[in-house]
Every structure is written in C-alpha cells, then in structure tokens.
Amino acid sequence: MILSKYIPSIEWLKNYNKADLKGDLSAGLTVGVMLIPQGMAYAMIAGLPPIFGLYASTIPLIIYALFGTSRQLAVGPVAMVSLLTAAGVGVLAEGGTAEYITLAIALALMVGVIQFALGVFRLGFLVNFLSHPVISGFTSAAALIIGLSQLKHLMGVDLDRSSYVHEILLQAVEHVSATHLPTLMVGLGGIAVILLLKRFVKAIPGQLVAVLLGIIVVWGLGLADSGVKIVGDIPQGLPSITAPNLDLSVWQKLMPTALAISIVSFMESIAVAKAIQSKHRNYKVVPNQELISLGLANIFGSIFQSYPTTGGFSRTAVNDQAGAKTGLASIISAGLIVLTLLFLTPLFYYLPKAILASVIMVAVFGLIDLKEPKHLWRSNKTDFVMLVVTFFATLALGIEEGIATGVILSLIMVIYRTTKPHMAVLGKVPGTRVFRNIERFEDLETRDDVLIIRFDADLYFANINYFTEQIEEMIEEHGTESLRVVVIDAESINHIDSSGVHALEQLITDLKERDIYLYLAAVKGPVRDSLHMGHLIEKIGEHRFFLTKQGALDHIDRVLRGEDSSPRFSEYTLQTNLHD
Amino acid sequence: MILSKYIPSIEWLKNYNKADLKGDLSAGLTVGVMLIPQGMAYAMIAGLPPIFGLYASTIPLIIYALFGTSRQLAVGPVAMVSLLTAAGVGVLAEGGTAEYITLAIALALMVGVIQFALGVFRLGFLVNFLSHPVISGFTSAAALIIGLSQLKHLMGVDLDRSSYVHEILLQAVEHVSATHLPTLMVGLGGIAVILLLKRFVKAIPGQLVAVLLGIIVVWGLGLADSGVKIVGDIPQGLPSITAPNLDLSVWQKLMPTALAISIVSFMESIAVAKAIQSKHRNYKVVPNQELISLGLANIFGSIFQSYPTTGGFSRTAVNDQAGAKTGLASIISAGLIVLTLLFLTPLFYYLPKAILASVIMVAVFGLIDLKEPKHLWRSNKTDFVMLVVTFFATLALGIEEGIATGVILSLIMVIYRTTKPHMAVLGKVPGTRVFRNIERFEDLETRDDVLIIRFDADLYFANINYFTEQIEEMIEEHGTESLRVVVIDAESINHIDSSGVHALEQLITDLKERDIYLYLAAVKGPVRDSLHMGHLIEKIGEHRFFLTKQGALDHIDRVLRGEDSSPRFSEYTLQTNLHD
C-alpha cells in the first residue's frame, strides 16, 4: 500500500488487464511517431542540436510512467520549457556549443531536484497562485515569442537570438530582402501540409508527413546544395551517461531559470493531467507525487543527456484519444524513440530546418488564446486587465519577469479588494425571516430603532479603519435620534485577527457612549473562537450574540415590550440561545 | 467651507472661545517645558547637536497647528524618527559634522514632500497595511535599540555607532572597565529623579527637574573638568533659512530612509491623533489631510533647519491632559521654545549628556510593550508569531528591514489563510430554519439525499483546487448512494473571480455525471453579478439559486413529492423566488 503510494505504477502493473494492451500499444506508437519531429523541433527552440530532443524523449517518459500518478500524461520536451531553457542558458553560452549543451543538461538536473524537493515538502499548493487569466496571458505571449523565434529558420536568414517580439520583427523586416526563397517555400509547404491534414484527414499525423515530404523534396531536388539548411549528421546510438561538472557560480546563475521552469512546467503538467483524469476516475492525480515524479524524470533524464522535460498538452491529448489506459503507452513511445536513435537517425540527414520551424509554428500559434480575453472582457474586467498586463509584461520584460508580474499583481489585487470590502445595510423581506441589501431589493422592511449592517469580508488589520468609518457613516445616514441597536451581521466574516478584535471593542465602547447597543448575529465558529480568546465576549457582557438576525430583532422587541427582564441585555449565552 | 477643509484651523480661529484659552495656555506651557529636554535628547539620538532638537520644536508645531485636523496632537522631534534619521544618515556621513546636519535637514524635506504627495493622491490607506502586532513588535525592538544606543552617554565611554543590540551590548561589556564613574552617577541620578517624580509627584515634570539638577550639580561640583561630558556652547538665536544643495545621487541614497520615515511617522501620528479624537468628538481626524499637514510641517521645518518631525505619543497625551482645546496650545509651546532659543541657551552650557541619556532611556523603555505579546500568546497565536518575528527581524536585520519583514509577512499570511479556508458540512437546528456546522453543534438534522456545504472564503484562483478537492472528500464521506443534491451555502462567499466561476462550472459538470444536482443558496449580490457576467447562470439553467438553505430544501421536497413539475429543476428565477 505505502509502496504503491510512491510508485503508483505498481497498481496497474500488478493487475495489468490484457484488454488495455491494444489501446496502450496504439497510443504509444502514435505518440512516439509524433515525438520524432516534435522532439527535434523543440530542441531547436531550446537552442540545442535536434538529437537532444530525442534523448529527452526516452528516460523521462519511462521514469514518469513508473512514478507518476496520471496514466495518460505524455512527458517529454515541450515548447514552453524549451523556450525558457533557451532564454536562461542563452545568456551564459553560445547556442549549440558544448558548453551550452552542458548547461542545458545541468538545468534539467536542477529542475529535477527543485521539483523533487517541492514534492517531498508538500509545496505543490504553490501552483495555486497562478490564476487562469495570468496563465492565459502568459501562454499567449510565450507562444508568440516561440513562434516568431522560428522566423529565421522559415526565412532562411541569420537573425540574432532575442526573446523580444519587437526586436525579432524589426530584424526580420530588415532582412526580408535576404530571404532564401527555396527555404521559405519548403517551410510554407510544411505549414500547408500540417494544416490541411489537421483539417481534412485527422487520422494521418501531419507533422510526420511534413517531415517525410520535406526530406524527400530536399533530397530529390538537391535543395541542400542551393542553400536550404538541413539537420545534417545525427549521431547514431543511445544517449551516454554524463555528470555536469560546473562551478558553483554557474549553478547560481542558472537558479532563477531553474525555479521558473520548475513552477511553469509543473503547472502545465498538472493542468493537463487533471483535465484528463476527470474523464477517467479510475485513478487520482496527486499534486505532490506529480512533483516528485516529474522531478525524478528530470534528474534521471539529465544523467542521460536530457534537457528539461514535462507533461505536455498536445501529446497527452493524442495519447488519451488514441486509447492509452496505463503508463505502458509512454514506455512504448520511449521504445520507439530508442529504436529511432539506434537505427533511423541517418534518415533525417536531409530534414530541412524550415520543416521543423513549420512544425513549431503551427503548434504554438494554436496556443494563442483569444477566446479567454474576449470572454473576460465581457465577464470580468479585473481579470481581463490581469491577462492583458501579464501578456504585455511577458512581451516587454521577458518570460520569467512576465509571469512574476502576473502573480504579484494578482496577489496585490486580492489584498486590495479586502481593504475596501462590500458593505450593506439590510432590510427584511416582508413575511419572511430573510434579510437583503436595501440597495439591491425593493420594498424591504427597515426600522428606525435598529440598523442592520453586513460586512462582506474578513475583519483584519488592513480593513478595520474602513469598517469603523463606514459604520460611522451608515449610522449618520440612518440618523441617531431613535437608533437604539446596531446589529452587525457577521455571516460573511470568516476570520477576525487581533486588530479586528481591538476594532470591534473600540466600536462597542464608542457606541455605548451614545446609548447605542451592538448586537452580533450569525457569528461563525472560528470568529466566535477568536472573540472568546480575545476576552471580548466577557468584556462586552451586556451585549448578545444571536444565531440569526431575526433572533436579534425578536430579542429587541421583547426588551421593548418589557418582557425581557434584562434592560441592559446583560445575559450572554452562546450555546443556549440556539433557539433564538 | 472648502478653505476650512484644507486649513482646518480656520474652524477654531474664527470662533475662538475665550474659555478655551486657559486650557490652551496651561497645556502649551507644559508641553513647551517638556520639549526643552526632550528636543535636545532626541537630537542626540539622531546624531545631531542638541540645538537642532529645539529648532525642530518651532516651525513644524506652528505649521501643523494651522493645517492639521487634530487639535491636541503635539508635533515635534520624536524618538523613533530620530533613530531612523540616525540609521539612514549615519551610513552617509560622520555624526555631528556639517555634512551630517545638511543631510538630516534634506531628509526632512524629502519626508515632507513624500507625505504631502501621499496625502494629495489620497494614499493614506497604505498605513492600514501595518497591523497592530507588527507595530507592537517593531516599537519594542526600536525602543530597545534607542535605549541601548544611549549606554555610551550613560557610561561616559566611546562606543562605535551601531543599531544592532548584540553589537552595542558586546561593546558595552568590553568597555565596562573604562566606565567613567562620575558620569554614570549623574546619569543614574537623573533616571532616579525622573522615575521617582513620575511615581510620586506627577504634577512636577521630572525631565525638567533632572535637567536643572544635572546642570546645578555639574556646575557646582566642577564635574565637567573631571571628565563628565557636557552639552557646551549652544548657539543663541533662531534657526536660519537653508536650502540643501545636494547631488542627485545623495537624494537617491536618502530615499529608502525617507520612505520609511514618511510611513512610520505618519503611522505613529495618526494612531495617537485618532485615540485622542475619540475622546473629543468636536472635530474629525482626516488621514489624508494629516499627511498633507505633516508633510507641510516637515517641508517648512526643513527650510528652518529642522530634521524630520511628527506627532508623538507622550507629549500629545500631556497636551490633552493639561487641557489643550485647540492648536493654539502648540503655537504657545513653539513660542516658549523661541524664547528659550533667544535668551536661555547659555543656561544649558553645563547640561551633562548623561542627563539627556537618562531622559531618553526612561522614555523609550516605557515603550517596550510586554502586555501585547502576553495577550496575543493567550488569544491569537498567529498574531503572536507575527509580533515576535517583527521584533527579532528589527533587532537582527535593522529598523527599516524589520518593519518591511513584518508587513510582507502579514500580507503573505492573509493570502495563505484564504488558500485553505474553513469549510463546514451543515445540519439543521431542529425546529428552526437555522443551519450550523455539524462538528460544532450537537443534534443537528441531516439527510441522506442532501449535503449542505458552506465555504468560508472568497472563491478565487488560489483556493479553487482546495474547494474542489474538499467537496469531493465531503461527498465521499457522506456517501454517494442516495445523494441527489449538493447545496453550496454561498453566504460567506463575498467575491468570485473568473477562475472561481470556471471551477464552479467544472464542479456542476462533474456532479451531473454522477446524477447529483448542485444548488446554490444565499448567493450575495456581487457574486450573483459575477455568475451572470460569466454566463454561468444560463449554462446551468437546470439548477436553481435560493435565498436560503431552507428554500432549497423545501424545493427539493416539492420535487420529490411530485408537486413541482420540474424534475430537472429547470426553472431559473432570480428576483421572483424571493419567497422561496
């Protein structure tokens, strides 16, 4: 039992159902075939030779299949993490050099260790701080950057590496006359093939067809000699074992990138894993175990020359649709890549880089999300602004800075919102015991001697001044002549801190000086506890707590009619006034 | 009317009541007498010659009296701001030099401009982010640092300036054998005089008596010749007009200190102003106008050689007790200081610095707050931790870093608390329409076909995962066999963001697959708006919103009895089901 908590694959391994084999085999092969062009293309985004995309498609898949909690998640190289790798390693070394490769592999090790540690210390909840609008804005901007970063391969010109959209576009415009036409034709042809097959013949994997057609065309027409850039020699054989030997200062420089990749890749992975799991229900995705398994996949991957990997959107969807039932599918995919590495790499000698660029562009431009901003524009302006700010911050400040801006901004908004919360004066719905905001509902009953106020937030240090000032204002508006009781409807107060207790105490004292009594209605358990602990309940012994607002009103009436012997409302009973 | 909003003194100037004059005169003279030793002592904390404490006790008092909204607040040099000045200017120049003095005066100008701008842009609410425990922990630590910083004057030895308690104590122990006994005797004598008069003869101002006795003893016994350090020559006459002429880089270096002083001094001032105002009620303290008036006091003060000032605790309390009714009291205090500057400075030639140290030590050690941590330890462990962390952070990291740590930590706690909010399964109090947490109240009625769940927080991006997971768990615990309806009691949900709307949508879909219907009860106006805008209400047309939980239950019963023709609960009415 405990073992299968840490190695979830035991569950499906020990009772493997032969009926699942067909689906696993078909899904495994389909994803494997997708992985060949995607792996090479994503390695190119990361600034690595294409072969490293294939290396990253072996060990990590197998490790995740054993330790992961999702049975359909397809782990491997993905576009976003590849771009983050390029952005982080690109400032430390020249793309494609031995040093660059060493750094990218070291980065996988760091990401793995960070994710593993986050999982062990159960910090998976941190991912909760990424809101949907922030993710959407960030993804669209990153997709734009990734897509445009491939312009140089599509146009067949040399452009400086940049992750700023305006710089890329400016350079592209400057070099537009140098465009290598045969390269452009091949690239556009690739895009056309992928889009057409995607639209009309879904069963055929467009990316693979584009790759094969590209190889045949370039080889057949001898386009490599006329300047179409090709992948060239790919070393045959499996990845070898490496241990990065770097200065401490280099590790330190990689740290911000490693942190960003750890969080972003976990986020992408857990989102897709949960979406797929909700369709299956025969297993449960456990966030912290996901961190541990992705961490192990990256650690062992890096030992075998893999750069950072994670669970990706597109291949996971294909894996599921093709019938994957267990992690065996991923192991089969990895097996196909191993066979490719052993025997098929010479096939890709003539693969034009423009085709890989077309694979990337189609994939990532599909990630640009226009629906969400449109939807938010109509439904939630604050979240719309959050999305747009994150989008432009990512474009203008950079990948990691963009996501950090989004997260910090959304947390500030959370705080800000609670500093000036919604407050309402309540009236009674005639003939019921229900109370509603007098500004939202018509014909509510109110009375001159009682003012009922609802405070719609936790009462804590950042809003106690607002709380006091607003109540003061509401009392003034109501008029103090015949006012005898203010009832605070505390049903929305989920928490009160020591500053809140102080403020309430002060309010009671201030009101008492004007011969107005404070009642509290519908105080929740945790708040009641805090009031008890703060000795507020004893201090204000002559005030009462009521389960409901109606209970408070009934009590006031009894006192006014002289039926209640406590003119000072002096009896405090918490448990016993249940029936008020 | 508008004029008296910006110059509140017009209110009391134009109808000055002669009956108030007695109180104003008595209070003004008392505070003025206090200001002479305090001003000189606090200037010493700030690392300035004593005369600058008197300069800071003239113009700022008059400006505040004209523009401030409090009628009792006593503005001038205070211990905390003096310490912050020393900490900030001390790293840029040698204490007591002409450069140091220029920087301290420039700092007052910056503080003034910042406070004025904060007030004009109505950013006074920022002070709300300082919680009571953070203020208490910070004040105690700062008092400890200030008090110990005077050890060198009390012992009569040279110690390096430091704002780290352990460094000060270490140095003091190292130099204990060098203690100058006559100096120590004078200092301890001063402390004894102040404490004894404070305890037994409250009417006599102990600080002034200590100062006079100190001067007489040192002069009479010729102690200055035997090494007791004295204040010495104090230039006679009023402060002259200055304009600081500094490099841009120096202004930049002063900026963090200026920001910290602006916030901390406003906080101290507004806290005491509000406390005093609550006793009077014939005027109102307006935070943004307070920022403007304190800002003007610092700006005009700096023109007349004043270092940063603010409204202080102790003198304000004395001012009020001595009968101050209007700002005239402060103008009288300033007048007394002006007379002192013109005629009395030679008197202070023999004033021993040890006496000023004793004035400071008695004042600040009284600020060390042991009651609040004791109270919080019993009543609120989280706030207790916040206080203790701020206290030690201030001691270990420094004054500004300490308060920043406290603020950031308390904001993180606010966020963290809402990520795993309180949730409760509700049962009905028998014979009522009231529902309570089944874990807190006994004998509540529950039913197999309905599960009522209350979520005690805003539903937003950082807690949607927790929300979904907990509901899943509660459903599992309840058992799904006969469960037909889950009622979410939304009375505590004050806000829902777009991520929350998505999560609710997903939950409805998930439940529907298991033939469970979701009802929402007591949804608040702002949340209803968000659901409307997110098109959730249309999408889940077959579910219903109810004003109360009882309304939802009644509806379920009608459907079960076949009385309601909508087996799919398909009718949605927002305004018309008021009577449900």
- C-alpha B520/C-alpha B469 separation (Å) is 18
Are both A342 and A481 inside the same structural domain? no
Question: Best of B138, B375, B414 to disrupt the A interface by mutation (most A CBs within 10 Å)?
Answer: B414
Are both B320 and B463 inside the same structural domain? no
Q: What is the pLDDT of residue B580?
A: 33
Are both B293 and B434 inside the same structural domain? no
> Minimal Cα distance from B429: which residue of A?
A578
* Helix B132-149 and helix B371-379, axial crossing angle in degrees, nearest 10: 150
What would the mean pLDDT of A130-159 be, rounded to a whole number?
88
| Predicted confidence (pLDDT) per residue in A13-48, tens digit | 888 989 999 999 999 998 998 899 999 999 999 999
**B382/A contact by beta carbon, under 8 A:** yes
Domain end point (choices A376, A411, A446): A411
Q: Contact A407/A130 with Cβ under 8 angstroms?
A: yes
- A vs B, Cβ pairs < 8 A, gives 180
Q: How many CB atoms lie within 10 A of CB B370?
A: 9
- C-alpha B178/C-alpha B479 separation (Å) is 79
What would the mean pLDDT of A371-383 be, rounded to a whole number?
90
Does some domain include residue A428?
yes
The confidence band for A98, taking pLDDT boundaries of 50, 70 and 90, is: very high
Greater pLDDT, A522 or B535: A522
pLDDT averaged over every residue in chain B: 88
Q: How many CB atoms lie within 10 A of CB B94?
A: 12
Closest Cβ opposite residue B533 in set A378, A410, A461:
A378
- C-alpha B448/C-alpha B480 separation (Å) is 9
Helices (H) and strands (E) in chain A, counts: 25, 8
Question: Best of A498, A535, A536 to disrupt the B interface by mutation (most B CBs within 10 Å)?
Answer: A498
Nearest-CA distance B498 → chain A (Å): 7
**B373/A contact by beta carbon, under 8 A:** no
| Closest by CA position to A105, among listed A249, A304, A336 | A304
Are both B373 and B438 inside the same structural domain? no
Task: Return residues 433-472 of B near A (CB < 8 Å).
Answer: 433-434, 436-437, 440-441, 456-458, 460-466
Q: If DSSP codes are grouped into helix, strand and coil, which group holds residue A37? A: helix
Task: For residue B430, give the amino acid letter.
Answer: P
B437–A525 C-beta distance less than 8 A: yes
- % pLDDT > 90, chain A: 46
**A87/B contact by beta carbon, under 8 A:** no
Match 């916040």 to its residue by tokens: B386
Are both B364 and B272 inside the same structural domain? yes
| Predicted confidence (pLDDT) per residue in B40-87, tens digit | 999 999 999 999 999 999 999 999 999 999 999 999 999 889 989 998
> Minimal Cα distance from A274: which residue of B?
B465
Supply the pTM of this predicted model: 0.72
CB-CB neighbors (< 8 A) of B411 in chain A: 415
Query: Domain holding B434: CATH number?
Result: 3.30.750.24
B524–A456 C-beta distance less than 8 A: yes
Q: Contact B535/B560 with Cβ under 8 angstroms?
A: no
CB-CB neighbors (< 8 A) of A465 in chain B: 125, 128, 287
Residue A108 has pLDDT above 70, yes or no: yes
Are both B382 and B452 inside the same structural domain? no
Structure tokens at A357: 């660029």
* Helix B525-533 and helix B498-513, axial crossing angle in degrees, nearest 10: 80
| Closest by CA position to A205, among listed A25, A23, A32, A24 | A32
- C-alpha B372/C-alpha B390 separation (Å) is 13
Are both B334 and B367 inside the same structural domain? yes
Are both B406 and B428 inside the same structural domain? no
Task: For residue A498, give the amino acid letter.
Answer: S
Torsion, Cα of B72, B74, B79, B84 (10° steps): 100
Are both B72 and B215 inside the same structural domain? yes
Name residues whose C-beta falls within 8 Å of residue B133's C-beta, 6 or more positions apart in sequence.
A498, A499, B372, B376, B383, B384, B386, B387, B390, B406, B410
A130–B461 C-beta distance less than 8 A: yes
| Closest by CA position to A403, among listed A165, A46, A130, A127 | A130
Q: What is the pLDDT of residue A196?
A: 93
Q: Contact A100/A47 with Cβ under 8 angstroms?
A: yes
A497–B492 C-beta distance less than 8 A: no
Nearest-CA distance A276 → chain B (Å): 13
Which range (A301-305, A350-354, B269-273) has the least confidence?
A: B269-273
Q: What is the pLDDT of residue A575?
A: 36
Residue A202 has pLDDT above 90, yes or no: no
Q: What is the pLDDT of residue A339?
A: 96
- C-alpha A507/C-alpha A531 separation (Å) is 14
pLDDT averaged over every residue in chain A: 88
Q: What is the pLDDT of residue A3?
A: 84
Task: Tell me what ipTM this predicted complex has.
Answer: 0.73
Q: What is the pLDDT of residue A574?
A: 38
Are both B368 and B482 inside the same structural domain? no
Residue A399 has pLDDT above 80, yes or no: no
Does some domain include residue A535?
yes
> Minimal Cα distance from A494: which residue of B?
B456
Closest Cβ opposite residue A132 in set B431, B502, B510:
B502
A338: domain range?
A: 20-411
List chain B residues with pLDDT less than 50.
Answer: 542, 566-580
Q: How many domains does chain A have?
A: 2
Helices (H) and strands (E) in chain B, counts: 25, 8
Does some domain include residue A571?
yes
Does some domain include residue A2?
no
Task: Return residues 115-174 of A near B (CB < 8 Å).
Answer: 125, 128-134
CA torsion through residues B231, B233, B238, B241, sign: negative
Does some domain include residue B1?
no
Strand extents, DSSP E, A400-464: 423-428, 435-437, 450-455
What would the mean pLDDT of A369-374 be, rounded to a whole number?
91
**A498/B contact by beta carbon, under 8 A:** yes
Angle at B66 (CA atoms; ends B60, B69), nearest 5 degrees: 100
Are both B492 and B369 inside the same structural domain? no
Residue B505: Cβ-neighbour burial (10 angstroms; 0-12, 13-18, 19+)? middle
| Predicted confidence (pLDDT) per residue in B393-440, tens digit | 989 888 778 888 888 888 888 888 888 888 999 999 888 888 888 988
Strand extents, DSSP E, B44-183: 75-76
Question: Best of B288, B533, B578 to disrupt the A interface by mutation (most A CBs within 10 Å)?
Answer: B578
> Minimal Cα distance from B528: which residue of A?
A440
DSSP letter, residue B448? S
**B429/A contact by beta carbon, under 8 A:** yes
**B284/A contact by beta carbon, under 8 A:** no
Q: Contact B487/B452 with Cβ under 8 angstroms?
A: yes
Cross-strand partners of A519:
A487
| Closest by CA position to B137, among listed B439, B391, B341 | B391
Match 């990706």 to its residue by tokens: A312
Residue A482 has pLDDT above 50, yes or no: yes
> Minimal Cα distance from A270: which residue of B?
B465
Does some domain include residue B13?
no
Nearest-CA distance B383 → chain A (Å): 7
**B499/A contact by beta carbon, under 8 A:** yes
A498–B133 C-beta distance less than 8 A: yes
Domain end point (choices A361, A387, A411): A411
Residue A126 has pLDDT above 70, yes or no: yes
Closest Cβ opposite residue A494 in set B133, B456, B498:
B456
Does some domain include residue A7?
no
Q: If DSSP codes are grouped into helix, strand and coil, which group holds residue A131? A: coil
> Minimal Cα distance from A428: which residue of B?
B578
Task: Return residues 309-368 of B near A (CB < 8 Å).
Answer: none
Q: If DSSP codes are grouped into helix, strand and coil, which group holds residue B289? A: helix
B443 sits in the region (left: phi over 0; alpha: psi -120 to 50; else beta) called left
| Predicted confidence (pLDDT) per residue in A246-301, tens digit | 888 889 999 989 998 998 899 889 888 887 887 787 888 888 999 999 999 999 99
Are both B405 and B490 inside the same structural domain? no
| Predicted confidence (pLDDT) per residue in B544-565, tens digit | 677 788 888 888 888 778 776 5
Question: Best of A291, A456, A506 to disrupt the B interface by mutation (most B CBs within 10 Å)?
Answer: A456
- C-alpha A489/C-alpha A455 separation (Å) is 7
| Predicted confidence (pLDDT) per residue in A153-187, tens digit | 999 998 887 778 888 899 999 999 999 999 999 99
Domain end point (choices B411, B435, B457): B411
Q: What is the pLDDT of residue A336?
A: 96
B428 sits in the region (left: phi over 0; alpha: psi -120 to 50; else beta) called beta
Residue A544 has pLDDT above 80, yes or no: no
Closest Cβ opposite residue A502 in set B132, B287, B420:
B132
Does some domain include residue A6?
no
Closest Cβ opposite residue B465 in set A128, A420, A501:
A128
| Predicted confidence (pLDDT) per residue in B101-129, tens digit | 999 999 999 999 999 999 999 888 777 78
